[in-house]
Amino acid sequence: MRRTAASIARSVGRGEAGAAEITEEILALSERANPSVGAYLTITADLARAHARRVDERVAAGESLPLAGVPLAVKDNMCLTGTRTTCASKILADWTAPYTATAVQRLLDAGAIPIGKTNLDEFAMGSSCENSALGVTRNPWDLERVPGGSSGGSVAAVAAGMAAIATGSDTGGSIREPAAFCGVVGFKPTYGRISRYGLIAFASSLDQIGPISLTVEDSALAYDVMAGKDPFDATSVDLVADATAPALRDDLKGVRVGIVREFDLAGLDADVRACYEAAYKDLERLGAELVEVSLPTADYGVATYYLIAPAECSSNLARFDGVRYGLRVDGPDVGAMYEATRAAGFGPEVKRRILIGTHALSSGYYDAYYVRAQKARTLVAADFARAFEACDAIACPSAASAAFRFNAKSDPYSMYLMDYYTIPMSLAGLPALSVPCGYVQPPDASRPLPLGLQLTAPAFAERALLGIAHAYEAGTRHAAQMEPAGLAEVGA
């Protein structure tokens, strides 16, 4: 039985249920289901119990906590003091975080209970969770399929009821695409809204933390807690983040929703296309005015991203050298030690990205690759600015298909194309989310699989974005129609 964060916080806040009791239920469920789903790399049972006791004391003392007793899953590229924090990489497999990420700390301060640390593509590089060096995560809708990535463990934990809120990080779609694959809500706020302090960096100009949940309301509750300036992250913005939860609406009257001319649905499978066309019609039925907008540079998004993100990754991951943390493989001298450590510690996708990034930044190639990509990024952002002159939000697919089977994308570039619809928003730093929009049953699937509608708003318009998403969710109720078919099989 999956419960929303809002309902849990309400019943704990009113004293109808104890955080300790809910935590025991969730831990028991996670012990049963996690061996099959693989959402968690580490279950932090003792820490969860300690936090639950503390939350019950605070509630008894009259404190009002927005997330009282809400089970929380933390993506394992975010630090949580005293827990193993691995990035799903062999190079950090045994590293224990000595401090806690600001976004995670804010959730804990609001009463959330840390159930565990979730699996991801190694260092958040991937779109299926298959690049984890430490475990396999399965999609609760169909255990033969991937959960999406990179925040695959986080979305699977929420879909399976092993957490009501999960943290994700999104660099080119790593919250939105897996949220779509697992039938949950995944929200990437504007770049800078949520502190990245304690998030192990992949591509610093793109990385953004955001919530994953069963409902839009839950994501709004978690976002309201996480957002805001943090002195420990110089790129966190010093803007008042108006609470979004009170602004959730039930209709779309007066809202102009942009449909992107270049995101032609004709190339998609017929049932996927029909699902998205129906979603656009639903927006209209709920009162929105649909307007065509153009993002002429969107087609260059993937190419731009696969120069900028690897370039930043090659620089950020230079710190994993066997000296200060993580794995060390000895060598005769310090240079050989670096090379042996990084050869043994990083998996193939991380190596590919470090190599391409190093190449793109190397002498003689820098202007042709990196600077050109940065210029393209300017054009992508300018496209959105023009589009938002005609609309309040943009609707498009979160992904081109439903969740695929394991090993279906053997060529790296075919996996990169999974982020075709999510990358442009990341390059422009815009707030975007995925909300369930229906189900398809591909010929090779034995059961229906969820799809997600991506909604994007101008920078810092989270309040409007979550309001629109809430109205769509309330007017369609796709997520409420079905539960993941795999839950019964895994004892969830």
Partner 1 sequence: MSSSKIDVRYVAKLARIALTDDEVATYGAQLENLLEHVAALEQLPVGDVAPTAQVIPARNVARDDVPQPSLARDVVLAGAPQSQGAYFRVPRIIAEAE
- Subset of 359-378 contacting partner 1 (CB under 8 A): 359, 362, 368-369, 371-378
Q: Does 54 bind partner 1 (CB under 8 A)?
A: no
- Subset of 149-178 contacting partner 1 (CB under 8 A): none
CA distance 434 to 470: 11
Q: Could you please report the per-residue DSSP string of 18-70? A: -HHHHHHHHHHHHHHHHHHH--EEEE-HHHHHHHHHHHHHHHHTT---TTTT-
Pick the closer one to partner 1 by CB: 134 or 203.
203
CA distance 179 to 390: 28
Contact present, 479 and 183 (Cβ < 8 Å): yes
Q: Which stretch binds partner 1 (CB under 8 A): 111-119, 165-173, 187-195, 439-447?
A: 187-195
Q: Does 338 bind partner 1 (CB under 8 A)?
A: yes
Q: Which stretch binds partner 1 (CB under 8 A): 26-34, 282-290, 325-333, 482-490?
A: 325-333
Q: Does 143 bind partner 1 (CB under 8 A)?
A: no
- Looking only at the bridges linking them, the beta strands covering 40-43 and 165-170 are unpaired
Contact present, 180 and 452 (Cβ < 8 Å): yes
What residues are annotated to the active site? 75, 150, 174
Q: Which stretch binds partner 1 (CB under 8 A): 54-62, 93-101, 166-174, 212-220?
A: 93-101
Pick the closer one to partner 1 by CB: 36 or 235.
235
Query: Least CB distance from residue 270 to partner 1, whole Å?
Result: 27
H-only helix segments in 227-333 = 270-285, 301-316
CA distance 203 to 186: 20
- Subset of 193-212 contacting partner 1 (CB under 8 A): 205
**Cα distance from N-terminal residue to C-terminal residue, the chain:** 8
- Subset of 393-412 contacting partner 1 (CB under 8 A): 411-412
- Subset of 221-280 contacting partner 1 (CB under 8 A): 234-235, 237
- Subset of 412-431 contacting partner 1 (CB under 8 A): 412-413, 416, 427-429
Q: Does 326 bind partner 1 (CB under 8 A)?
A: yes
Q: Does 300 bind partner 1 (CB under 8 A)?
A: yes
Q: Does 140 bind partner 1 (CB under 8 A)?
A: no
CA distance 48 to 52: 6
Choose, by CB under 8 A, the member of 264, 324, 389, 407 that binds partner 1.
324
Q: What is the DSSP letter of 449?
A: E
CA distance 406 to 408: 5
